[in-house]
Structure 1
Amino acid sequence: MTAPQEPMLIWERPEPPSRPAPSPLSRERIVRAAIDLADRDGLDAVSLRKVAAALDAGPMRLYGYLSTKEELLDLMVDEVYGEIVPSGPAGDDWRAALRDLARRTRQATLRHEWFADLLGGRPQLGPNALAYLEAALASLGDTPLSAVVQVVSTVNAYVLGAVRREVTELRAERATGMDEHAWHVAKGPYLVRMLATGRYPAVARFVHGADAEPDFDEGLERVLDGVAPLVSGGR
């Protein structure tokens, strides 16, 4: 008895043959249209129906190129990873390589804020996402595998948390019409009254004594300093 074949993922399935039509389609055009919608109006604006309308095509035509909205989201994420992966080899400086990937991830996320909502969770398996992972892992050379996992996971966790916070702040600013200064002006008097009660001494020390919060690069350097002892040779 022949064993059933495993289903091919979207990355492996060929596109249907091209055919004359008023609106020619391809996975590339579909993904580009979906990204444009998400960039403009957020992920909630992305549906197969809306993408088809943007391409002046019937929704059923899209099902020749992908089967579900989840597959479309996977393709969108991988397209953004294609913007992150550097075009050349990383070289021998592991810090420079991971720093470059982190900065490129942040820049891509600020161009495509919805990307932050789809990061994390199960690993992405598209070719560009795998190329990103390959670049991160290869940068660590002959470092033991257990340490490689810790280094890459720690740096990725920092980047994910930092960019999600930044995107959240940008969204809040747009939703409320308040930038950070206006927010502090509006909320400051309340905070002063609460700290004057004496119930929050640690918070008061932080508010009155802390400098400005470290920016993305400063935080990243602290993380790289922290994982450096795990890297073979400290390259």
Structure 2
Amino acid sequence: MAASGRTARPEVIWARPERAGRGPRPAHTRAEIAAAAVRVADAEGLDAVSMRRVAAEIGCGTMSLYNYVPRKEELYELMVDAVVAGYDLSREPSGDWRADLKALAGQTRALMHRHPWVPRLMSPVYGFSPNALRYFEYALWAMETLDVESGTKVELLAMLNGVITAYVSNELATAERARASPYPPGEEEAVRAAYLMRVLSEGRYPRMARTLTEGPGAIDLDEVFARAIDRILDGFEAEGRSGA
């Protein structure tokens, strides 16, 4: 609470100057703080990130860190922005909006695998940072040839990122479970698959049995990801054609 008894007004960290016009140069930068927090999260997970831990990483006191980042939520915002800076947006869009969005989707998936904690922080709240705005501007540029309303383009981008986040979260959870398994690689999966086949052979689940036996067998996650993205783009492309 503020000294007057009223709740302090919310602020956007990017609207606050990193350095005051007068006085000594700050000992640390936001980029340095964000990089330290990202290192901790990459190595030990998001739960290991605390103001105390990040302060220790950059060599300052915990209370001093609050002078740079008043709230932990703003530290998260700095972290997300630092990761989003990893997009390669150096080339102009090709003019093929589908190809360009698929390329962006691939980059998003790769970034989330490099920083497995990112899906937990995906939120529109962090969409106003400099690098997030840079990404958003580029995505809209890539969609200039898509003949739908501007609001529909925003919906497309939101849906795309939502599906990617869910997909990668599942990939990461599966990989984490495999790493935590006390059994040799693949052994637990094989036992579970054998159990499922045995249950299905009893005839109580005929539709599941038919579906799984007619399925493709081994699943290529990259191909499944590509098909998921294509199906989203198909829907929005059809909307553009119908409105033409």
The reply to whether TM is greater than 0.5 is yes
Say whether 1:193 aligns with 2:198: yes
Residue 73 of structure 2 corresponds to 70
Q: Percent identity?
A: 36
Using a 3 Å threshold, how does the CA distance of structure 1 residues 218 and 183 change in structure 2: closer, same or farther?
Answer: farther
Structure 1 residue 27 displacement after superposition = 1.1
What is the distance in 2 between the residues matched to 1:129 and 1:169? 28
Equivalent in 39, 42, 51 of residue 39 of structure 1: 42
Residue 240 of structure 2 corresponds to 231
SS of aligned partner of 2:14 = coil
Using a 3 Å threshold, how does the CA distance of structure 1 residues 53 and 185 change in structure 2: closer, same or farther?
Answer: same
**Superposition TM-score, scaled by structure 1 size:** 0.85
Residue 159 of structure 2 corresponds to 154
Residue 89 of structure 2 corresponds to 86
- Unpaired stretches in structure 2, ≥5 consecutive residues: 1-7
Say whether 1:202 aligns with 2:207: yes
SS of aligned partner of 1:79 = helix
Tell me, yes or no, if the aligned pair for 1:16 and 1:64 is still in contact at 8 Å.
no
Query: Which one is further off, 202-211 or 93-102?
Result: 202-211
SS of aligned partner of 1:64 = helix
What is the distance in 1 between the residues matched to 2:50 and 2:68? 14
Using a 3 Å threshold, how does the CA distance of structure 1 residues 89 and 231 change in structure 2: closer, same or farther?
Answer: farther
Q: Structure 2 counterpart of 1:52, which letter?
A: A
Query: Which one is further off, 47-56 or 169-178?
Result: 169-178
Residue 49 of structure 1 corresponds to 52
Residue 105 of structure 1 corresponds to 108
What is the distance in 2 between the residues matched to 1:207 and 1:177? 28
Structure 1 residue 16 displacement after superposition = 4.1
How large is the Cα RMSD of the aligned pairs? 2.7
**Superposition TM-score, scaled by structure 2 size:** 0.82
Using a 3 Å threshold, how does the CA distance of structure 1 residues 121 and 164 change in structure 2: closer, same or farther?
Answer: farther
Residue 116 of structure 1 corresponds to 119
Structure 1 residue 169 displacement after superposition = 1.4
Aligned length: 228
Tell me, yes or no, if the aligned pair for 2:37 and 2:49 is still in contact at 8 Å.
yes
